[in-house]
Amino acid sequence: MLKYSLNLVFRSKLRTFLTSLGITIAVVLLSLIIFGMNGFKDVITNEFTSRFKPNEIIVSSTNFLSFAGDMGDAEGEEEEVKEPELMTSALVKEIQDDSRVSKVVPAIMINGMQLRLDGNDKAFSPSFPFGWDVAGDSRYFTGFDGEKTVLDSGEAFVSEDVVSFFKTSHEEIMGQTLVIEVAPSALLSNKTKTQIDKEYRYKIVGVIDSGSDRSDAIITTGDAAEMLAQNGGFINGEEYLEDIGYDQLFIELNNEDDVNKFREEISEKYGLQAFSADDVLEFLSLITNAITFVLIFFGIVSAFVASIGIINTMVMSIYEQTREIGINKAVGASNYQILYIFLIQSGVIGLLGGLLGLTIVLAVTIIADPFIVDMLQEQGFSAQRYFSLDPLIVLGIIIGCIITGVLAGIYPAIKAARLDPVKALRFE
């Protein structure tokens, strides 16, 4: 029966190929979505876990991970929200004095800047918020190049993008003066009092990977606070920090087991948002899963359209094989045998489409992977590969193609099995 069914499938090779092409397109679309999103998730997860220790917590006054962590009660009851405290030096010291805390690193974010090298008229405009300052602790940066690992006042790290923009090298840019220009219309803080033109000069003492920490230049928190104070109408950096506070705190605990409890205490006691590595990874997973679900939906629609093509082909096949069906029934073939013959045909068409689609996907991934990896590495990611074809997913796709073909062939198969042998033999 199998051999006979295969002969029928390959009797019209062109029609079989064109019919299976619909399945092929659906497989290519679905496979690239699944493997592509899995690759993206792996790159982001690996990059994040390599830079974020499991015993670290990020504290912010802004809830930028609204879907992550335990943000409310399971039954959806509203909880009283505590007004967030300013992240001042006093609060930093209070957290630092906790016996569970190993280190607290404050950070200030500065927007609206332009970067120049002294004596160079070209200006570099950072594409991401400028000025993630981590109090001179270079452990938060990847790809670090420089003799100094701790910044002093008047010193700065710059990104690889800055080096490339000014068409120089790591060696040549070291020791040069970085000029930071403040635009009069720059939004420095939603609480600033005035805004003025200003420029600041820093000696470059190190280079970091581009995109490593969403920063193109790094200065000390003291310098950053002073800069914001001068442009915000404050007396000095100390007054600014007392009135505005730090933007974020990076907290390192002695014990990883204390992370969840400490994170909850920070939120309850100070009204601040505290996030661990697990919270961020959960948030990233939710986002990637949502995107994957939407894209897979369109892939399933493509598979549905392809199944309609299989149904059409099999119905046409019935008309072409009507007399043949009648002869088979006349010599003793049962309705179930006729049914199986057509189901095998439609299943084989689905299988052929799946195998062709996976072959195309394999070729695309082999060709595209090096280019994607190079692009990611240029952006500061340490990816060695992007696409990873999971054998279980490949097997699942193949089985899914066969099932799609069989399901599409049910109606034509039943129609063929119910043919009256006498009428079938008379069919012209």
Per-residue confidence (pLDDT) for residue 136, from 0 to 100: 46
Per-residue confidence (pLDDT) for residue 129, from 0 to 100: 46
Half-sphere exposure of 320 (CA within 13 A, CB side): 12
Q: Are 383 and 142 in contact (CB under 8 A)?
A: no
Per-residue confidence (pLDDT) for residue 425, from 0 to 100: 66
pLDDT per position as a tens digit, 183-224? 654 444 444 444 446 788 999 988 887 654 557 788 888 888
Q: Which residues of the chain have pLDDT under 50?
A: 66-78, 128-129, 135-136, 185-196, 212
Per-residue confidence (pLDDT) for residue 355, from 0 to 100: 93
CA 353 centroid distance within chain: 29
DSSP per residue over 117-154, as a string?
ETT----B--SS-B----TT-GGG-SS-BSS--S--TT
Angle, alpha carbons 358-363-364 (nearest 5°): 95
Per-residue confidence (pLDDT) for residue 188, from 0 to 100: 42
Nearest C-alpha neighbor of 15 from the set 340, 313, 353: 313
Nearest C-alpha neighbor of 338 from the set 253, 252, 418: 418
Per-residue confidence (pLDDT) for residue 100, from 0 to 100: 92
Those residues with Cβ within 8 angstroms of residue 71's Cβ, 6 or more apart along the chain or in another chain: 63
**Residue 226, token pair as written in the block:** 């002073």
Angle, alpha carbons 335-343-419 (nearest 5°): 35
**Residue 66, token pair as written in the block:** 């609204």
